[in-house]
Amino acid sequence: MNTIAIGLDLVELDRFRLLYGAFDSDVLDRVFTARELAFEGTDADRLSRLAARFAVKEAVLKTVGGLQDGIAWTDIELLSDGVSAPHVEVSGGARAAATALGISDWLVSVTHGTQSAAAVALAIGDGRT
């Protein structure tokens, strides 16, 4: 396995709150999968955790050349069981873009605090096929 690309993203919580803070289900459903939304629950820290998930999506997108026609936000899903390290699953257009670049998986690290959320995604694979 080789390192193919790296993506980094920082989300300011105040700005994220303006865009997603109302938790409008139509808006959230365009960005997050049902599994992601179910995992995050409804408690007071939900906004910062969703912002962290958004940062992961942005970081992964950067490894495949950014948001393009045919890639939906929900094509990139951050999954976690709350115990082991989070992992990314991609589908649809994101999977096609990754495959074209020879990316087979990502290693991700994510963090969030009171002001911001950040993520880094390391794309790994055999390279362009």
Nearest to 11, CA basis, from 120, 122, 124: 120
Chain position carrying tokens 């045919």: 70
Please state, in angstroms and rounded to a whole number, the distance separating the CA atoms of residues 95 and 64: 9
Task: Specify the number of domains making up the chain.
Answer: 1
Q: What is the dihedral of CA 115, 81, 84, 75, to 10 degrees?
A: -70
| pLDDT tens-digit profile, the chain (129 residues) | 899 999 999 999 999 988 877 677 888 899 999 988 887 766 768 888 899 999 999 999 999 998 888 999 999 999 987 788 889 999 999 999 999 999 999 999 999 988 999 999 999 999 875
What pLDDT is attached to residue 19? 84
What pLDDT is attached to residue 72? 96
Q: How many alpha carbons lie under 13 Å from residue 110 in its C-beta half-sphere?
A: 26
What pLDDT is attached to residue 27? 83
Residue 26, marked binder: no
What pLDDT is attached to residue 128? 75
Instruction: Specify whether the CB–CB gap between 22 and 128 falls below 8 A.
Output: no
What pLDDT is attached to residue 95? 97
Residue 77's DSSP bridge partners are 89
Please state, in angstroms and rounded to a whole number, the distance separating the CA atoms of residues 72 and 92: 8
Residue 117: give the domain boundaries. 2-125
Nearest to 50, CA basis, from 72, 87, 89, 21: 21
CATH code (residue 75): 3.90.470.20
Spell 40-68 as b/e; 16+ CB within 10 A means b.
beeeeeebbbbbbbbbbbbbbbbbbeeee
Residue 126, marked binder: no
For residue 93, give the 3-state DSSP assignment: helix
